[in-house]
Structure 1
């Protein structure tokens, strides 16, 4: 009986800790969704989670007064360009490192992995100067074009998965008359779907949330992304005062939270499976 009581006590304590962690994790999200339905006056004077008088004016403003369509278009262009670029380039590099034999490939892979240790922020200034000299500033090109030269982390994931595929498949396909590229496109890519989906999800979520690079490279409203709009579009001056429309920011933030959540809920199994297989095999 004592052992049973101890086990029950540990179970209750575990659930209590899990509930506490869940509350801490979800409290900011609840606050964001709640704030989107408040007026500016109530938001700045009341700390209640449930609004006293719910209003849709913040969402109406977003869809009628702000350039939400333009910002969504720019963000989607950024996501699609980077996802296509990194999947294409990273998979080709990973295929060569995993399936082909040539001198120095292990050294090349080691160098690629070593570059993962370099913080992205350390590269922004030299890249900014370089892109400025070729006239790419104030466009999406500085953020899309580099993805066509392979990202080290994605190369690592794909290489690990490609190495887990039996080489007998390559040999059989070559005996049937396939070229190296046909082996890659017709055999390796279809088999590696979980890892491709994983990289696609990670790339999409990263560029959906990315703020640092758009702030550096984009100056005009023409190419502004959602993250920049969220930071700048809901600030205005009223007389001599500088006003931040927090309820509108909360409403826009809640809308930005929804797509990544839906993406994870619909493709979460592929994401988990891709990471597990890429990390454990090879």
Structure 2
């Protein structure tokens, strides 16, 4: 009985914490169906008096939301593809091959994780200005094809859980390292590919700082920067429309995470096991 009561208390506490953590998201979603007058009413109400899609209709007709969504998808897909390709390839020799200085190379890659990204933004800006890439998608997408250290670490740790006997059997059959990587390691590593792909997609879907630095044209802004620009340019802050735009940003990552949660759990659970 004591154990059962303890479990009930733990589950109750977890539910309370979950409701508290999820409450701001619920507030944003329900507020997106309110009018501006109802949004500003006091005392505030969680649920609108009447659910209306007027805010969504207005932002699709009076703002550049479809253009912002297109730009966000371009950045998200480009960065995710670049991350998966580059990070998986860099991690393979660090996990499956033996060469002189391998530990030193891996240590240097891990050391770069301690450098804040904001420290490197100024040198990057100078470099991309010299290349003529400013105000385009190139400064945001191209760096993803040079591997991110944290993703290299995750790939390497997952690759190390795969039995070495598979490599030896493939070499006996005449496969070279490139064939072993594409035909054996990549198919087996589906959980970690999906995990990093989903996390990268969610990150770049919400990324604000980097596009804000490198993009100035209104037609190239992603959704996160577009919402900020919209709230800054209106004479009256249309919180009802801002909440509708924020809801559009919230829902796709939630759906993506729920669809891939089993693969994410498997990828994280097995990463680091040897």
Structure 1 residues 92 and 236, CA gap change in structure 2 (3 angstroms): closer
- Whether contact under 8 Å (1:235, 1:245) holds in the other structure is no
Distance 1:57 1:117 in 2: 46
Distance 2:84 2:47 in 1: 44
Q: How many angstroms does 1:132 deviate by?
A: 1.2
1:225 has 2:218 as partner: no
Q: Which one of the candidate residues 109, 134, 146 is aligned to 1:112? A: 109
Instruction: Compute the RMSD of aligned alpha carbons.
Output: 1.5
Cross-structure match for 2:170? 173
1:88 has 2:81 as partner: no
- Whether contact under 8 Å (1:234, 1:248) holds in the other structure is no
Q: Which one of the candidate residues 205, 208, 227 is aligned to 1:208? A: 205
Cross-structure match for 1:132? 129
Q: How many angstroms does 1:234 deviate by?
A: 4.0
Distance 2:89 2:18 in 1: 41
Q: Which one of the candidate residues 135, 157, 163 is aligned to 2:154? A: 157
Larger Rg: 1
1:44 has 2:37 as partner: no
Cross-structure match for 2:188? 191
- Whether contact under 8 Å (1:91, 1:155) holds in the other structure is yes
- Cα deviation 1:57-89 (Å, max 9, x = unaligned): 210012222122211111111111111111111
Q: Which runs of 5+ in 1 are unaligned?
A: none
After alignment, is 24-33 or 166-175 more displaced? 166-175
Q: Which runs of 5+ in 2 are unaligned?
A: none
- Cα deviation 1:139-191 (Å, max 9, x = unaligned): 11111111111110111111111112122211221221111101110011111
Q: Would you say how many aligned residue pairs link Structure 1 and Structure 2? A: 273
Distance 1:98 1:55 in 2: 54
- Whether contact under 8 Å (1:97, 1:109) holds in the other structure is yes
Distance 1:270 1:54 in 2: 36
Q: Structure 2-normalised TM-score?
A: 0.95
Structure 1 residues 194 and 127, CA gap change in structure 2 (3 angstroms): same
Q: Structure 1-normalised TM-score?
A: 0.92
Cross-structure match for 2:70? 73
- Whether contact under 8 Å (1:138, 1:219) holds in the other structure is yes
SS of residue paired to 2:40: helix
